[in-house]
Structures are given as C-alpha cells and as structure tokens.
C-alpha cells in the first residue's frame, strides 16, 4: 500500500468536537455520532481531515455513514482510504445513503442501488422521508439507498 501524507486510525474520545464540527460543516446526518465507531484521517499536523463510521440500526442493519472530508483534502484519496479501512473492519452486508451524484463513487466499493422493497425498515423510512421532505432542503431529494454484499 502506498504511503499517504495523512494517517488513518481509530478515533479518540478527545476528537468528538472535531468530528461533530466536520459532520455539521458538510451538512450530513449528525445523529448517532459515537466516536468509538469512527475511523479518522489526520494530517501530519494532527488536523482532522476526514472521518467515517459503521452505524448499527435497531433493525439489525449496518450503515457506512458519516463519511466526510474537509474541502482542502478532497480528491486526494482520503475518503477511499477511510472506506477501505471500514470495509475491512466490518465485512458483510452494509448499507449507505448518499446524494444521487455520489452513487457511481460508491459502486467502486461494491455498493448497488436498491429498491424500497429490498430495504430494511430504517432505510425504507429514510427513503420515504426523502420523497416527502426532499423539496424542503432538510433531506436531499435525490437520496439513494445502496447495499453491499460481501
């Protein structure tokens, strides 16, 4: 594996404020941000530059979630490294939700768009909310639900 100008590692409790700030800055779901589930990317100066987690849901499904990278570090492989690290740590069936324009990116990791009838209850609810509230700006109107079998 090639060397990167950043480090990928397990999050530390002291990073909770930085993780929350990044999630809010990129305007993604701020619910259930448990630092113990997070992988973070940090710069050589120990700046938090990216994060992601695998979030469990009550219905038994697991979600690749909270994937965020600061703008200055995008297009440099940070998200890819976070995802690959999480996929190794959490093999098996995973779901995710994303904006429609990101579907092709997640397909590279084996995720495929699924129909509402294939979705576990949590994701079915999110999909329906997207259709109802999509025009409000609270939830993206073009939300995709994707699944990975591995």
Out of 65-69, 94-98, 134-138, pick the least confident. Answer: 134-138
Predicted confidence (pLDDT) per residue in 73-88, tens digit: 999 999 999 999 999 9
CA atoms of 86 and 41, how far apart (whole Å): 12
Cβ contact 14:44 at 8 Å: no
pLDDT value at residue 35: 93
Which range, of 60-69, 83-92, 112-121, 122-131, averages the lowest pLDDT?
Answer: 122-131
Asked if residue 2 has pLDDT above 60, the reply is no
Average pLDDT over residues 61-79: 95
DSSP state of 86: H
Set out the domains of the chain in order of their start, with CATH numbers: 1-91 (3.40.630.30), 92-150 (no CATH)
Q: Which tens digits make up the pLDDT trace of 3-48?
A: 678 999 999 999 999 999 999 999 888 888 999 999 999 999 999 9
pLDDT at 107: 96
pLDDT of residue 132: 74
Can you name the residues that pair with 69 across neighbouring β-strands?
50
Residue 143: pLDDT over 60: yes
Separation of alpha carbons 94 and 148, rounded Å: 5
Residue 66's closest CA among 90, 88, 86, 91? 86
Q: What local confidence, expressed as pLDDT, does residue 137 receive?
A: 57
Q: Give me the residue label for tokens 């940070």.
A: 78
Contact (Cβ atoms closer than 8 angstroms) between residue 7 and residue 45: no
Return d(Cα 132, Cα 69) in angstroms, integer. Answer: 28
Q: What confidence score (pLDDT) does residue 23 get?
A: 95
Averaged pLDDT for residues 100-124? 94
Backbone angles phi, psi at 23, to 5 degrees: -60, -45
How far apart (Å, rounded) are the C-alpha atoms in residues 74 and 8? 15
């Amino acid at each position: 594996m090639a060397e990167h100008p950043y480090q990928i590692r397990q999050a530390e409790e002291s990073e909770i404020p930085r993780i929350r700030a990044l999630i809010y800055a990129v305007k993604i779901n701020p619910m259930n941000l448990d630092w113990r589930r997070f992988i973070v990317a940090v710069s050589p100066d120990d700046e938090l530059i990216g994060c992601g987690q695998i979030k469990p849901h009550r219905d038994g499904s697991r979600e690749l979630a909270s994937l965020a990278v600061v703008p200055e570090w995008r297009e440099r492989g940070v998200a890819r490294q976070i995802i690959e690290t999480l996929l190794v740590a959490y093999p098996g069936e995973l779901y995710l939700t994303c904006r429609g324009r990101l579907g092709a990116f997640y397909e590279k990791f084996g995720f495929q768009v699924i129909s509402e009838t294939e979705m576990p209850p949590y994701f079915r609810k999110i999909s329906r909310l997207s259709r109802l509230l999509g025009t409000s700006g609270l939830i993206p109107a073009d939300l995709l639900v994707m699944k990975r079998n591995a």
